[in-house]
Amino acid sequence: MTYQELLQNMISGWEMYYQQVMNNDFSAVCWKEGHHKTYGTYDTQGVNRLRLCYYLYYSHINITEKILVRLFKEECQNLETNGFQGIGESIKILTVLLEGNYPELLERAKNANFDCYCGYEYETELFRKNSRNPADFDAERCLELAWNTSETDYALQFLNIIKSEYVIENKYDCLHLIWWNTQLGKTADNEPLLRKKLEFSLAENHQDEIISAHEDLLQFFTEQKRFSEACQELQILSAMDLSGWYGVNLFRSILESCLDLINSDIPEARKIWNWAEPHIRRELKNIHGMYGNFYQKLIPAVKKMHPSYAKNVQKQYQLWKKLNKIS
């Protein structure tokens, strides 16, 4: 099956929302408040409404302005109450479909949140210039459409098509595919891309990029529980002169990976701790530069490796939380 056929299958699957609203049933696409502990208030049915908007837009379905206005108002309520500041595709599509009518609604959308005020009109105009013909889409645009609408199965199929056709010419191509693999739960597929990224960095002889590429591999092997290979990457890094990166996040990421390895109770844990401890002590002197995830990994590691030091670390963690007003 071609990606164009996949796209048509995906879009046609959203017809059910169209049939519902045509029967005056908005229950699946109306604003419905939900709460996320990290991101705050959100619309639990926003994705359904986005699927319907895409269906109307790319299937060129004729629909009454009454329905479009209702959907527009539902989306405005989402934008006005959502804990995440943004614009989103739904409001752009509905604005285009309403063809500039209902200026009071357009003004409401513009003032829905900070991002809308700064870019709603501009981004809508950019969106208007995109093709409305799915036959013009490339596989990557299909993938983005599937991702935006939480159609994970379709997104994975589009990603596989992209991988089969993609020509990797530089480290940015690697990063691009790494991002998609990570988002779609295909992290294990990142190894050849991470190695290719290291090759590009070595060829360019950019020391910070070389360190970053090795740290990416260190983190990858640690997360995959391939501890022997992770230790090999750490050995390479520890043999480098990293002094120019002390106090910056890249070096702290290396230390965080060390803590992950120590907390995994691998045989090399003591050797890793002996290398990492003086660096950790130095980094902790800049309490404002640290972060909670580092402390949360450091505390169990230091309890295993240096129990007498653990109390000092815990005190500093509490001070860090107080300074950052974290309960």
Structural domain spans, the chain: 3-136
Q: Which pLDDT tens digit goes with each residue over 48-93?
A: 999 999 999 999 998 999 999 999 999 999 999 999 899 999 999 9
Q: How confident is the model at residue 325 (pLDDT cuts 50, 70, 90)?
A: confident
Residue 114 in contact with residue 85, Cβ under 8 Å? yes
> What's the mean per-residue pLDDT of the chain?
95
Q: Which pLDDT tens digit goes with each residue over 282-322?
A: 999 998 889 999 999 999 999 999 999 999 999 999 999 99
Q: Which pLDDT tens digit goes with each residue over 163-181?
A: 998 899 999 999 999 999 9
Q: Quick one: average pLDDT of 92-96? A: 97
Amino acid making up residue 182: T
pLDDT > 90? residue 269: yes
pLDDT > 90? residue 1: no
Residue 148 neighbours by CB distance under 10 Å: 16
Residue 318 neighbours by CB distance under 10 Å: 12
pLDDT > 90? residue 38: no
pLDDT > 80? residue 100: no
pTM: 0.85
Q: Which pLDDT tens digit goes with each residue over 184-200?
A: 999 999 999 999 999 99
Residue 32 in contact with residue 25, Cβ under 8 Å? no
Residue 75's alpha-carbon distances to 46, 106, 183, in angstroms, are 8, 12, 25
CA distance 221 to 190: 10
Q: What is the pLDDT of residue 20?
A: 97
Residue 96 neighbours by CB distance under 10 Å: 17
Q: How confident is the model at residue 14 (pLDDT cuts 50, 70, 90)?
A: very high
SS3 at position 42: strand
pLDDT > 90? residue 326: no
